[in-house]
């Protein structure tokens, strides 16, 4: 089982939180619109978090924390798409935390 964290933290703060939890069963559920609302650069955050992301929530939004139809808000979807990579399924179990400083397993 995985408990993925959806929050409004920066990539650096998410990394620190994951390092403190130190469990491969606790990754990030990255919401591109939440990141935009809180002034974070979604493409850069996705690149920084890398394999620490279990799933990406694609939704668009505008100022004032309001939702919008995809492509009609302020989320940089072309940048988000360029930042995502196809990767193998996340392994669970083991004793070593996958959240190393370089983002690798």
We report the CATH number of the domain holding residue 92 as 3.20.20.150
Task: Please give the C-alpha separations between residue 81 and each of 3, 43, 77, 88, 97, in angstroms, as whole numbers.
Answer: 24, 8, 6, 17, 27
> How many domains, in total, are found in the chain?
1
pLDDT tens by residue, the chain, 105 residues: 899 999 999 999 999 999 999 999 999 999 999 999 999 999 999 999 998 999 999 899 887 778 888 888 899 999 998 898 655 455 555 445 554 544 444
Q: Which domain holds residue 46?
A: 1-105
CA dist., res. 25 & res. 94, Å (int): 10
Place of tokens 């492509």: 71
pTM of the model: 0.77
């Amino acid at each position: 089982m995985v408990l993925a964290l959806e929050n409004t933290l920066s990539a650096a703060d998410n990394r620190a939180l994951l390092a403190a939890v130190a469990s491969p069963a606790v990754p990030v559920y990255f919401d591109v619109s939440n990141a935009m609302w809180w002034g974070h650069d979604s493409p850069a955050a996705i690149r920084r978090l890398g394999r620490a992301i279990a799933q990406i929530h694609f939704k668009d939004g505008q100022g004032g924390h309001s939702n919008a139809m995809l492509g009609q808000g302020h989320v940089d979807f072309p940048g988000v798409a360029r930042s995502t990579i196809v990767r193998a399924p996340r392994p669970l179990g083991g004793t070593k935390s996958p959240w190393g400083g370089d983002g690798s397993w």
